[in-house]
Amino acid sequence: MLTTNLLAWRHEHPSTAEAFKAARGAVDRLMACLAVEEAFAVLLANYVSFEKAVATANIENMVERGVSMTDLHNRRREVDRHLVNLLAAGEMFSEHVFRRATLEFGRKSSETDVLDCAFLEQRERLVGFWATECLRDAVLHNALPITSWTWGGQWVGLETPDGNFSKLSPTARLEHSVTFAFATDLLALDRKFDPALIDRLKAERADKKGHISWVLTIREYVEGLSMILGEVRKIWAEVERAASALLIEMADTYRTSLPEGRDQPLYVFVVETNDDGRWLRDVLLNADLEGQLAELRRQHKPMVNLHRRFLVG
């Protein structure tokens, strides 16, 4: 039956077991879409906290002097913590995307093929995305993510050919920087690594010591996952529209059946009952899942060229 849970009054409208099953399926599909968006929200929050940790380390580098080695290691551990959380959140998002698509469409469906292609495209386009996928396992099984880090600063814009620092140009500035990096050896600890990945990282990203900055690598990873999220939305779009339309139609059917003059209830349920009319299970038809999805999507747009964005004071 269709009903509301108001204590003051209750109007019941007949329904069917098939309608109850369809409503449960529709809610499950919308919840699957919402779960993916919320998993990305967790990823994004961890990414922001990672960038803040790096920025904080650089500010401390700029204003503090005489920092002990213990303090430096504590700062490194703090960034390590954010990186581990970020890698775990990325793994969670990827697993949610594949698991829910497989349950809904099947492992050998065209939808999961599109999803596989989306991941492959980002691996080919962004070496940092490919590397981070592999580094997740390496970090889980072998070592913390940061294998080297540097602190320091250098003068730029001196305009003093003789190198006389006592005559600094008005445009000269002392730029401070911190670098948290990993060595390609970290990837090699994973038996499943592709040697082509290490070759590409060394050619495109490694410094003279073979170290690769985590910041740029992570930006490519998050950018790639945000692009994949856009593809996930397309895959689920028709299913989501159909599920939303079904729930709206059922709720409207109940509302139009109300006696004249009766106030419209906020919440409408489809209910499964036993032979005595006792509620066994219910499905809320108007939980505003669509509104939650719309708000998250407003906040989480594909971050095109994230790896080309830099902070400038």
pLDDT (average), residues 154-159: 74
pLDDT of residue 279: 79
247 is a domain residue: yes
Q: How confident is the model at residue 209 (pLDDT cuts 50, 70, 90)?
A: confident
Residues 90, 221 contacting (CB under 8 angstroms): yes
CA distance linking residue 247 with residue 57, whole number of Å? 50
pLDDT at residue 163 greater than cutoff 60: no
pLDDT (average), residues 236-262: 90
Query: For 137-152, what is each residue's pLDDT tens digit?
Result: 888 888 889 999 888 8
Cβ contacts of 282-288, under 8 Å, gap ≥ 24 = 283/20, 283/23, 283/24, 283/27, 284/27, 285/2, 285/23, 285/247, 285/248, 285/250, 285/251, 285/254, 286/247, 286/248, 286/251, 287/27
pLDDT (average), residues 262-270: 82
pLDDT of residue 186: 83
pLDDT at residue 159 greater than cutoff 80: no
CA distance linking residue 4 with residue 259, whole number of Å? 14
DSSP state of 169: -
pLDDT at residue 167 greater than cutoff 70: no
3-state secondary structure 196-221: HHHHHHHHHCCCCCCEEEHHHHHHHH
- Calculate the CA dihedral of residues 20, 23, 24, 26 and round it to 10 degrees: 160
Q: How confident is the model at residue 224 (pLDDT cuts 50, 70, 90)?
A: very high
Token pair 């080695």 in the structure block, residue: 69
273 is a domain residue: yes
What residues form DSSP beta bridges with 154?
Answer: 175
Q: Is the dihedral of CA 77, 83, 88, 91 positive or negative?
A: negative
165 is a domain residue: no
CA distance linking residue 139 with residue 90, whole number of Å? 13
Residues 5, 269 contacting (CB under 8 angstroms): yes
52 is a domain residue: yes
pLDDT at residue 254 greater than cutoff 60: yes
Percentages (nearest 5) of helix, strand, coil residues in the chain: 60, 10, 30
pLDDT of residue 235: 97
pLDDT at residue 5 greater than cutoff 70: no
pLDDT at residue 6 greater than cutoff 70: no
CA distance linking residue 236 with residue 228, whole number of Å? 13
pLDDT at residue 27 greater than cutoff 60: yes
Residues 69, 151 contacting (CB under 8 angstroms): no
313 is a domain residue: no
CA distance linking residue 27 with residue 208, whole number of Å? 54
164 is a domain residue: no
pLDDT of residue 261: 72
163 is a domain residue: no
Query: For 68-126, what is each residue's pLDDT tens digit?
Result: 888 888 889 999 999 999 999 999 999 999 999 999 999 999 999 999 999 999 999 99
Please name which of 210, 213, 286, 292 lies closest in space to residue 255, comparing C-alpha atoms: 286
Q: How confident is the model at residue 214 (pLDDT cuts 50, 70, 90)?
A: very high
Token pair 């050919």 in the structure block, residue: 161
The model's pTM: 0.89
User: In total, how many domains does the chain have?
Assistant: 1
54 is a domain residue: yes
Domain residues for the domain of 249 are: 2-158+171-308
